Amino acid sequence: MLAQFTWQEFWLAILLLTLLWYSGIILFYFRKELNLFFSKGSPFKEPFPRRWADKVEEPIQKFEEHDGLLGASKLAEGTSTVSMGQVSFREDENAKSEQLGLIPDVLQELKEIFSILEKEEGNKQDFFNMMEMVRAKYGQIGSNPRIVQINQFIAEHAPFHLSKEELENLWD
């Protein structure tokens, strides 16, 4: 007798019996939720009962009402929160004038002197003659606190050796 059924008929019977079984389970155990679902209402409209709520001293607050799960974080000592428009960096007036004024101009003059000495194969005496013009033009550079860096620049880029005494006497 079982030989008379095909595989297609067997799987169709299994499918129908499974649908019938689960429909019966849903109708028997979940009738209330099914009625709410078909009446276009949510089965969970009412909040779950909180039997413990009367034992809590403070009312339950929503998550958005406070600053996170553990509360607001404390800023480190000496810090503050500012907007982007309030952010600025300290500007040293001397540094700004050095960037735009005397030091870069002297360095540019020195670069030009070294370029001329290289092209025309100048010697130490030619260098000192050209430096007299720079000293006359920038006389106040000798008292600048950055004169050490300028002398170091000269010592590194000069095509000949200059002693410490010659570098120190260069700006007098």
DSSP 35-84: HHHHTT--TT-SPPP-TTGGG-SSPPPPGGGTTSSS-PPPPPTT-----G
Percent of the chain residues past pLDDT 90, beyond the cut: 14
Domain of residue 103 covers: 96-169
Q: How far apart are CA 146 and CA 157, in angstroms?
A: 17
Q: Does residue 127 lie within any of the structural domains?
A: yes
Q: Does residue 108 lie within any of the structural domains?
A: yes
Q: Does residue 100 lie within any of the structural domains?
A: yes
**Range among 12-21, 80-89, 123-132 rated most confident:** 12-21
Give the confidence band of 11 by pLDDT, cuts at 50, 70, 90: very high
Q: Does residue 73 lie within any of the structural domains?
A: no
Number of structural domains found in the chain: 1
Percent of the chain residues past pLDDT 70, beyond the cut: 76
Q: How far apart are CA 172 and CA 73, in angstroms?
A: 60
Q: What is the mean pLDDT of residues 48-55?
A: 72
Q: What is the mean pLDDT of residues 43-66?
A: 63
Q: Which residues have a Cβ under 8 Å from the Cβ of 162 and sit 6 or more positions away?
A: 124, 154, 155
Q: Does residue 147 lie within any of the structural domains?
A: yes
| CB atoms inside a 10 Å sphere around CB 109 | 16
**Mean pLDDT in the chain?**
78
Backbone angles phi, psi at 127, to 5 degrees: -60, -45
Q: Does residue 151 lie within any of the structural domains?
A: yes
Q: Does residue 152 lie within any of the structural domains?
A: yes
Tokens of 7: 């595989």
Q: Does residue 104 lie within any of the structural domains?
A: yes
